[in-house]
Copies of this chain bind each other. A is one copy, B any other.
Amino acid sequence: MDTTQEHSEALDLPFNVFAKACPSRITLEHLTGRWGALTLGALYEGSLRFNELRRRVDGVSEKMLSQTLHALERDGLVHREAQPTNPPRVDYELTPLGREVAKRLIGLIHFVEGHMADVLDARRRYDETRGAL
């Protein structure tokens, strides 16, 4: 048998997001947090500079983008390449691990975007039956 990486249920394997104290839960939150998924998604197409990224991820503040990038860099998903020129130029790109994660997030994003009509319908029905009470 091989013990590579099957689990996540109620198993006693090394990492399990469903367990309160598991570090994988923190990392999952970095990826799926409000800006994490969008940042990784934006970088999936290629390396981007700070302000390019900021324009692409519409609505993100400098503070949050910076914070998000730090967390993702620390987790080894994003690589930061600073050139000591003037004016400074900094490129962000996905690491191989980051690409894998981003690919999955993009899949999820596309799926959601493609089914928003269904979601909106469901919401309308929900609100109608509830509002009518």
Contacts and interface: CB of A to CB of B under 8 A. Distances in A.
Interface residues on A, range: 35 or more
A90 interface: no
Interface string A74-98: 1111000000000000000000010
A108 B118 contact: no
19 contacts: A5-B115, A15-B114, A17-B109, A17-B112, A18-B38, A18-B56, A19-B58, A23-B120, A24-B112, A25-B38, A29-B34, A31-B32, A31-B108, A32-B32, A74-B127, A76-B119, A101-B108, A104-B104, A104-B108
Interface string A90-131: 000000010011001111111111111111111100110000
Given A8-B110, A17-B41, 11 more contacts: A8-B113, A10-B56, A13-B113, A16-B113, A18-B58, A27-B116, A27-B119, A29-B34, A32-B37, A76-B126, A97-B119
